[in-house]
Amino acid sequence: MDTDIAKLPLHSLNPFMPGAGKQPPELVGRSHDLELMDRMIDRTKLGLLDRGIIYSGLRGMGKTVLLLKLNDMASRQGMATVQIEADGDASSEYDELMHELSLAVMRIRKPDIRQRLSEVFSRVESVSLDFMLGSATVDLRGADAGKQAVRTSSYKLELLVEGLSEELKKDGSGLFLFVDEFQDMSAEVMMTLITVQHKLGQRNLPFYIIGAGLPNLPGVLTKARSYAERLFEYRQIGRLDDTAAADGFQKPARDLGYSFDDKALTRLVDLSKGYPYFIQAYGKAAWDASDSNPITVNAVEQGEPVARAELDQGLYVSRWQRATPLGREYLAAMASLGETCTSAQVAEHMHRNASDLSSIRLSLIELGLIYSPERGRIAFTVPGMDEFIRRDIPTENQSYDGRAQRQIV
Ligand SMILES: Nc1ncnc2c1ncn2[C@@H]1O[C@H](COP(=O)(O)OP(=O)(O)OP(=O)(O)O)[C@@H](O)[C@H]1O
Ligand SMILES: [Mg+2]
């Protein structure tokens, strides 16, 4: 059925999509990454090899949607693709990998290659445990059972990825594994994957890990296997420049026959600070507040508090609530020092010894709220978290419980 866009009410057309992993109406500022993927696919078809890619960046920068887009590009061009999100538990990560690999095989369109790949699965499934682990070492009772199961999964995964890549290569294809939140992956699975990437690269087999995670990800990978440094191309997903940010607002509007006027656009670019999540939130709110075409700066101003509330809910509040009271004190001290600071400055601000605070600092890192961009320094993983804390958190008790509602916890 043909829908006449011009006849639809303005609000129902709103193209902006704030929210984790929500595909934006226009993926701006990523042309280099899309070209890189195009090149990798072309080279794979020719049997030539590339390195995997690791993307790192702060929360809300667009890592997940970029992985989804690259995955889509690869699968449309006949590559076998798998996407998983790490959760830190080795056995569930192995299960998910196996499950997703089997789905990837089923999604292959050509029946003959799908058949050959299914045979690889059956072959790996039928390899006996004794053979893989050496019969003398196998004891499947008690605490050893869990360890053995994880080891078996590691062998199976290696055999499977190797077998699938060999078959795919014969057909000018390859296996692309997209891993989101890679920094959270269990050490066991991370080591297995890096090792497999390394070994298959040496054998010229087309298996690529395309990972994404927080800014500490490159360091975590290198710690797992020192050669990880040479194995991947590392790319930072940072703020968008003003032109890209402006496109992020204007292009989706133009596609629908609307536009933002110059003043509105300048203000929006300013408010977004180049953060993709902010583009979606401010774009959506301005669109909803507008009843004109072009959309004016008035609508932007009217939408601003709505966008702010959307960002508070989507990015900050739940993270703040995750921290313990002492953790919140720590975060508040960091916020008063700006976007980034040193642990020593925080301790001084809190009138405490830095060593007394090291465990709370570690727990905030484990919660994914802060990270260490370089030795001794700490920063928030979410852009604008410092500003949110300074703006919205009462300093006396550092509590925040829901939108515009303050109470002592
Ligand atoms: N290149 C882009 N252009 C415009 N909007 C984007 C772009 N990338 C992401 N967005 C928007 O930003 C928001 C956050 O994207 P996404 O969830 O991919 O970020 P992320 O880096 O994975 O965040 P997190 O670390 O919290 O998982 C989404 O609303 C998405 O639509
Ligand atoms: Mg994400």
Contacts of residue 366, Cβ cutoff 8 Å, sequence gap at least 6: none
Ligand nearest to the CA of 382: 1
Residue 49 lies in a domain: yes
Ligand nearest to the CA of 245: 1
Contact residues of ligand 1, CB 6 A cut-off = 17-22, 24, 27-30, 57, 59-65, 248, 276-277, 279-280
Same domain, 160 and 194: yes
Structure tokens at 143: 């605490």
Same domain, 232 and 90: yes
Cα of 238 vs centre of ligand 1, distance in Å, is: 11
Same domain, 216 and 193: yes
- Structural domain total, the chain: 3
Cα of 108 vs centre of ligand 1, distance in Å, is: 28
Alpha-carbon span 249 to 270, nearest angstrom:
12
- Residue where the block lists tokens 């790490």: 86
The C-alpha angle 234, 239, 244, rounded to 5 degrees, equals: 110
Cα of 331 vs centre of ligand 2, distance in Å, is: 22
Q: Whose CA is nearest to atom 31 of ligand 1?
A: 24
Q: Whose CA is nearest to atom 16 of ligand 1?
A: 62
Residue 293 lies in a domain: yes
Pocket probe for ligand 1: among 61, 68, 184, the residue whose CB has the most ligand atoms within 8 Å is 61
Same domain, 151 and 292: no
**CATH number, domain with residue 274:** 1.10.8
The DSSP annotation for 51-68 comes to: -EEEEE--TTSSHHHHHH
**CATH number, domain with residue 341:** 1.10.10.10
Among 96, 35, 24, 103, smallest CA distance to 61 is for: 24
Whether 193 contacts 211, CB under 8 Å: no
Ligand nearest to the CA of 315: 1
Whether 194 contacts 179, CB under 8 Å: no
Q: Whose CA is nearest to atom 9 of ligand 1?
A: 62
Residue 265 lies in a domain: yes
Same domain, 249 and 215: no
- To which H or E segment does residue 318 belong? helix 318-322
Residue 402 lies in a domain: no
- Residue where the block lists tokens 């600092």: 361
**CATH number, domain with residue 202:** 3.40.50.300
Residue 23 lies in a domain: no
Domain that holds residue 298: 5-10+242-317
Per-residue pLDDT of the chain (409 residues), as tens digits, is 455 666 667 778 999 999 999 999 999 999 999 999 999 999 999 999 889 999 999 999 999 999 999 999 999 999 999 999 999 999 999 999 999 999 999 999 899 999 999 999 999 988 766 555 555 444 555 566 667 777 789 999 999 999 999 999 999 999 999 999 999 999 999 999 999 999 999 999 999 999 999 998 999 999 999 999 999 999 999 999 999 999 999 999 999 999 999 999 999 999 999 999 999 999 999 999 999 999 999 999 999 999 999 999 999 999 999 999 999 999 999 999 988 899 999 999 999 998 899 999 999 998 889 998 888 899 999 999 999 999 987 554 445 444 333 332 2
Q: What Rg do the C-alpha atoms of the chain give, in angstroms?
A: 24
Alpha-carbon span 405 to 3, nearest angstrom:
43
Q: Pairing state of beta strands 175-180 and 207-213? A: parallel
Q: Which atom of ligand 1 lies nearest, measured to the CA of 248?
A: 4
Cα of 18 vs centre of ligand 2, distance in Å, is: 12
Cα of 213 vs centre of ligand 2, distance in Å, is: 8
Same domain, 191 and 277: no
Structure tokens at 190: 């991370």
Q: Which of 236, 252, 276 is the last residue of a domain?
A: 236
Alpha-carbon span 101 to 268, nearest angstrom:
42
Residue 397 lies in a domain: no
Same domain, 186 and 42: yes
Contacts of residue 128, Cβ cutoff 8 Å, sequence gap at least 6: none
The DSSP annotation for 122-141 comes to: HHHHHS-HHHHH-GGG---S
Same domain, 66 and 178: yes
